[in-house]
Amino acid sequence: MLLLALIGTPLAAQGVGSVTAGPFNVEAPTDPLNGTVGTQGNLGVEYTGAVAGTAAPLGNLLNPNASVESFWVTARGTVDPTTGLWVTAAPHTVYQYDMSGNLLYQFTQASTVAAATWGHRDMAADMNGDYIMVADDDGVNCFDRHGNYAGGAAINPAPIMAANGPQLVGFPIPLPPTTLGSATHPGFPRGLAYNPNGNGGNGSLWTANFASDLVEFDLTGAPLASFVSNGLWSVYGLAWDSVRGTLWASTSPNQGDLAEIDPATGTETGNRMVRAVGGAQGGADICYRSGPGVPHSEVVYLAQNTPDAVVFQRLDLYTPALGSGYIDEVTIEVDSSGAFPAGGFTSGNRTFYDGDTLTWQYGNAGAAAGSPAALLVNIDGVLGSTLGVPELVIPTQFSSPPANPATNFELGNTTGLPSGLTALGLGPALVGDPAASFPAPPGFFPAGAVISLQAFVIDGIGIYTGNPWPGYATNKATLSAQGPPPCLPLGAVFTANGTNNFGAAVPLNTAYWSIANNSAGQNILSVTVDWAAANVVGANTTVFDYDQGGITGVAVTTGVFQNGNSTVAGCEGTIVNDPGLDFGPANSIVPPCDPAAFCGWSTTSALAGSCQNLTFTFGAGGDPFGPGETFGWNVDTDGGNGITGDTMAGLQCTIVWDNGCVSIGYLAATVPGLTSVANL
């Protein structure tokens, strides 16, 4: 690929999910006599960036390394000072490490949990990283970067930073009851994540305990949301990804992958990351580091292995070698000729239909004009992730071709791409080059597919300064497929006409229900009428009484709608005009009085002799329902708003045409006491 040729092979090993820091042995620094055999009880992990150290300590402890970029580990037990060996018993400990894995500081956990069997589990720092909240048997406790613990709201609260500003919070925060009344309540917090934008910007916490419910609560312990376990996750660590607004769980299944969870639904998104170090899962965090050669965001997790390890794995591309940071330099912009409500280049999302021209370019070029850039593309939203790592801010891996090129691919691969797309290669290849475009082939992008584009821009100045990662990620722009273009009315007319749809009120050879194909040249493939989708109040209670006798047909007034194409005397159906109806579609009912016949329709809502929807298909024997033809039938209705044609208003009609268009319309009253019509 162009990208690898420009900046060399090291990047090929730096795909999404690759290890960016560690694995760090967190046993050897604290237990040098026995620190490689997995005898410790390290449990949780939390990253905190470098800070100015201006936050007031919560107590008298002072940590000379409080402002250092670090990761923190909660541990069950401590080293026995007399033997030098680890003891997995109270009192328990918290350790601070620098980003090279060197032990910087340690302190004993608070007295309320120091005597418990396990002590602190997972952790979650506030918005500024000054205060670290921690899950344990008490609920949620909190300490500062010196090891001082917060107390109750009236004694020693902590100013937890949230989007709306500092929130004075008393600790411990109790775990609320689940809002679901579920038998799988967490019992106590184990995994812990903090969303500073939660609860309207006042901050919220998320927790789960192995296979328990997933619970969100505010900083007083009041419940906000609960979701029943999906039966897969086994949560020890939780982390909030503020870029995507999602949760990451360690792990799903037990001792399995890191998995992303949608907080709006409590379901896994399908984005997963294989852990570089396996074993029993521990705590987890998302960190956002900055500087050349550092990914914008990484998942941090603790693996309870031999030895226990802390690992950083990346979620997206690298930050700029020069400039002010993530996604604020060159942008990817997209447009579509069929975009709605309005087109034009955007760095966000554009919709498109089959056959529309899709266009993309680099925006905000400025001084970067002429810089090399590599564009990556993948298609998601149909089958979900097909890679062993998530498609997140970066749509696909650098380091290997996608597993399924039809749904995930790098632009430039030649397998599975629509004609015309492969010819574009990795273009535009330079920032400032003309926009690239191609027509979306009909049928290639199903409705719901999302084309994601993101670029890696080479920072030419960074190359000369020797930066090992001389480039940065753009934003991710998307093009969302809507499928076939919307159909303008093609000329079908659906009518309900009469004073009653039962008995002699309908004259011989006359259809109460009819559809006329008045199009200029399209055949109708199928028609569905559905009361459940009606748009008039009361109409959705109507049913078709398909086994009702005494219905008008051809030359009879004693027909039954379900008897379809029967020719047996006394078993006549009530199809009045047949333009090529398929009398034997799937789920078609066989008339009880004529086993050789079929009703000529299907339904998905059959009850005892009645239903709410009917689907008719056409083209049987090569006879299409073509222009100038009319389909007419009679069937009784029960319930709803009345018996006259105008009271049938609201009934939804869906027509599928042979050009791929789908027309949807609703009957509307036109003649009082007599008629309603829909034009499709």
DSSP string for residues in 347-394:
SSEEEE-TTPEEEEEEE--GGGTT-BEEEEEEEESSS---SSS--SSS
User: Is the pLDDT at 220 greater than 80, yes or no?
Assistant: yes
Q: What is the mean pLDDT of residues 119-136?
A: 95
Cα separation, 580 vs 397, whole angstroms: 52
Which residues touch 555 (CB under 8 Å, ≥6 apart)?
Answer: 508, 509
Q: How many angstroms separate the Cα of 113 from the Cα of each of 38, 110, 145, 194, 401?
A: 23, 6, 18, 21, 49
pLDDT exceeds cutoff 90 at 124? yes
Q: Coil, strand or helix: which one is 478?
A: strand
Q: At 558, which amino acid appears? A: T
How far is residue 10 CA from its own chain's centroid? 32
Q: Which of 61-70, 281-290, 364-373, 422-431 has the lowest mean pLDDT?
A: 422-431
Task: List the beta bridge partners of residue 616.
Answer: 527
Class of residue 60 by CB neighbours under 10 A (exposed 0-12, middle 13-18, buried 19+): exposed
More confident residue, 469 or 565: 565
The single-letter code of the amino acid at 258 is: L
Q: Does domain 17-314 have CATH number 1.20.120?
A: no
Question: What local confidence, expressed as pLDDT, does residue 82 receive?
Answer: 80
Q: How far apart are CA 276 and CA 274, in angstroms?
A: 6
Per-position b or e across 363-378, b if 16+ CB within 10 A of its CB? bebeebeebbbbbbbb
Give the integer Cα–Cα distance in Å for 121 and 172. 14
Residue 190 has pLDDT above 80, yes or no: yes
What is the model's pTM? 0.55
- Summarised one tens digit per residue, pLDDT across range 23-69 is 999 987 776 655 555 566 899 999 999 885 568 899 999 999 999 99
Compute the Cα dihedral for 43, 47, 53, 58 and give only its sign: negative
Burial class (CB in 10 A: 0-12, 13-18, 19+), 452: buried
